[in-house]
């Protein structure tokens, strides 16, 4: 009878499946960099003062995250989750400042864009696009405990049901959404003001989608109506 192999006979350890499934950082980093650039592109009255503060905070926190979890996103650390949510919250709050200021100026008939419909539409567009990025980041971070948790437990109970999860013939059995999927969800929620091909099955997810749709609707409606009024 052949003896069982000892420790010396075992094959060398290889990277586990979580390392192979973990997401790359570049899609998330690109979204955050885009939010930073969009904030700088705003008129001075709508930016955080001084203008470099918002990009500096975003890029610093992003650098900390990448340094703490280099390569693919697969490290489950409490401090990484805290920094991630602090970064997303900063993007959200800085854009909320822009949105509230813009709506207040429109409702109070502020003269900042009195004869500049193009500038008004551009500012509204920046606020709308940053809102999409912010909610995409929230969806990405909260669903199934975040990207690192999804890499280790792809079968965990989801908050969103994507088409790939319902059509096994067109996607791997262990398919999990990545940031691009959540960005698409955020874009269509802000555009259609309703669920499209992705269903929210957790109450917090439904409320978050409602908040995004409502925010997008208010900003788009007021900005477009004001721009039409200026052009007339």
Task: Convert 153-191 to b/e letters by CB count within 10 Å (16 or more is b).
Answer: ebeeebbbebeeeeeeeeeeeebbbbbebbbbbbbbbbe
Place of tokens 């592109």: 41
Nearest to 144 by CA among 175, 173, 116: 175
pLDDT for 17 equals 53
pLDDT for 13 equals 37
pLDDT for 56 equals 97
Place of tokens 């900042």: 112
Q: What is the pTM assigned to this prediction?
A: 0.88
| Ordered per-residue pLDDT tens for the chain, 232 residues | 444 444 444 433 334 455 567 899 999 999 999 999 999 999 998 998 898 999 999 999 999 999 999 999 999 999 999 999 999 999 999 999 999 999 998 888 777 777 888 989 999 999 999 999 999 999 999 999 999 999 999 889 999 999 988 877 788 878 899 999 999 999 999 998 877 889 999 999 999 999 999 999 999 999 999 888 888 7
């Amino acid at each position: 009878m052949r003896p069982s192999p000892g420790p010396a006979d075992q094959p060398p350890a290889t990277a586990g499946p979580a390392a192979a499934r973990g997401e790359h950082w570049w899609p998330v980093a690109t979204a955050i960099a885009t939010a930073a650039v969009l904030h700088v592109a705003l008129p001075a009255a709508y930016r955080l003062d001084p203008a470099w503060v918002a990009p500096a905070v975003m890029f610093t926190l992003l650098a900390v995250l990448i340094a703490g979890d280099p390569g693919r996103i697969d490290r489950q650390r409490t401090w990484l989750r805290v920094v991630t949510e602090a970064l997303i919250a900063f993007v959200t709050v800085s854009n909320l400042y822009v949105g509230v200021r813009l709506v207040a100026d429109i409702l109070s008939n502020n003269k900042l864009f009195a004869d500049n419909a193009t500038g008004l539409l551009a500012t509204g567009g920046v606020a709308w696009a940053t809102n999409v990025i912010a909610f995409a980041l929230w969806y990405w971070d909260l669903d199934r405990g975040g990207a690192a948790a999804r890499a280790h437990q792809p079968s965990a109970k989801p908050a969103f049901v994507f088409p790939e999860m319902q059509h096994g013939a067109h996607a791997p059995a262990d398919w999990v959404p990545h940031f691009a999927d959540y960005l698409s969800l955020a874009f269509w929620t802000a555009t259609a003001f309703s669920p499209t091909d992705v269903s929210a099955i957790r109450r917090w997810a439904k409320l978050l989608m409602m908040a995004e749709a409502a925010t997008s609707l208010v900003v788009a409606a007021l900005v477009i109506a004001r721009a039409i009024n200026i052009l007339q």
